[in-house]
Amino acid sequence: MFNEPRTYVLAVSGGVDSVVLLDMMSRLSNAKLVVAHFDHGIRDDSADDARFVEALARRYGAEFETRREELGAHASEDLARSRRYEFLRDVARRHQGWLVTAHHGDDVVETVAINLTRGTGWRGLAAMHSDVLRPLTGYSKQQLLLYALQHELEWHQDSTNASDAYLRNRMRRKISKLPRPIRSEIGELRAKQIALKERIETEVRELIGAGPSYDRYFFIHIPSFVALECLRSATSGRLTRPQLERALIAIKTAKPGSVYQAGAGAELSFTSRQFAVKLLK
């Protein structure tokens, strides 16, 4: 797909991974590049990163988009990630482009490990599988560093990468001690899990139909774990597991004519036989 003329919105932090991504993508003949940089306002020196990335964008002849928010030094990883992706997806929509991030193979292993420590369901093992393009997942961190040195690239080192305050940093140090074959095996298992996820999603969609209306009787009488998977598909994956469980209770008990706000902009309205899903922006 990278050989087709497209617009790509690159998430560039200024670190070595995203600088390598920008350099690689700049070599595509048909690509229009937009460099997007999100400044969390977590570090005192984060504005320096923004200026560095802006200079990089100019050097590569790419458009530059940035946003700064004052999340503060105590912002959680989840909040920082959520705000960053909200910005990146907004840029991608405005430019009608594909969002591209610099996640590499070691990032994938770290994410799988973090999901496991958090008690993930089976979907957590299919980490980083979405509409975001991640062309570097076949490379290790060491390979990206080698590329950067060979091409004499410059990058900024994020001082928070050394902080034990962040779960990912603690997990990264543990993962780095794993033998390379084991890390490769985790990557292969993730690929199999992604293939399984796609098969399940296809089967579920064929089972429940395209919507937006669905049979309440069907959802009430199938096993709960199947009903939750079907409901996840009907709500386009917006809801958390607890939200899905509460929505399933509503499907079983709600009175005809009632409306249930499931969260994340998902609204369920009921007749005696069916419920309809409406996804609000």
Average pLDDT of the chain to the nearest whole number: 86
- Provide the percentage of residues in the chain whose pLDDT is more than 70: 88
Q: Which residue type occupies 106?
A: D
263: left (phi over 0), alpha (psi -120 to 50) or beta: left
* Residues of each domain in the chain carrying CATH 3.30.465.60: 209-279
**Max CA pair span of the chain:** 67
Query: Structure pTM?
Result: 0.66
pLDDT at 41: 77
The answer to whether 244 and 228 are in contact (CB under 8 A) is yes
pLDDT at 164: 56
CA distances from 16 to 20, 53, 167, 238, 251 (A): 6, 12, 20, 32, 49
pLDDT at 124: 64
Q: pLDDT tens digits for 149-181?
A: 999 999 988 666 555 556 666 777 776 677 777
pLDDT at 1: 65
pLDDT at 177: 72
Of 8, 27, 2, 13, whose CA–CA distance to 147 is shortest? 27
Report d(CA 31, CA 231) in Å as an integer.
38
pLDDT at 159: 61
The answer to whether 268 and 275 are in contact (CB under 8 A) is yes
Q: Homologous superfamily of 6-187 in CATH?
A: HUPs (3.40.50.620)
CA distances from 73 to 88, 127, 163, 170, 185 (A): 21, 27, 12, 18, 36
Q: pLDDT tens digits for 107-156?
A: 887 777 777 776 666 666 666 667 789 999 889 889 999 999 999 999 98
Is the pLDDT reported for residue 53 higher than 90?
yes
Mean pLDDT of 45-70: 91
* Residues of each domain in the chain carrying CATH 3.40.50.620: 6-187
Beta bridge partners of 99: 9
* Alpha helices in 161-240, H assignment, sequence order: 167-175, 180-208, 216-221, 224-234
Report d(CA 37, CA 15) in Å as an integer.
11
Between these two residues, 262 and 162, which has the higher pLDDT value?
262
Report d(CA 147, CA 102) in Å as an integer.
14
CATH code of the domain occupying 209-279: 3.30.465.60
